[in-house]
Structure 1
């Protein structure tokens, strides 16, 4: 019985054709970070205001704090402005 159960599980796995990603559904945008603050009571989350060319900036939450310290982000913002 166990061999038959394993064979059924293998057949239920999605094949390569079903796993393809439709890239036409992606909406990628480039923007400039206007301001950044670290979310209170978190170690790795920043809240950023990002200008992507719309009427008002977008608010984005990212885990950049795990990779870039806040003081370095603020230095980069001052250089770019």
Structure 2
């Protein structure tokens, strides 16, 4: 009667393994960061364009023709 009773602990439930957050918080945070950068870029561009001088249509056409002429001369 020298046997000792072995007491075993009851098994504890394991937490589920961590899977990558494919559709969750991390992806949405990245999307928000991308949109925030795009908004900042567009605001800067709008601010720049608001300060630009208006250009006449003939000035744009002349500039386009000159750049086309220079490109043709380079070939």
Report 1 or 2 for greater relative contact order, CA contacts < 8 Å, sequence distance ≥ 6: 1
TM (normalized to structure 2)? Answer: 0.28
Rg bigger for which structure?
2
TM (normalized to structure 1)? Answer: 0.27
Task: Considering fraction of residues, name the structure with more helix.
Answer: 2
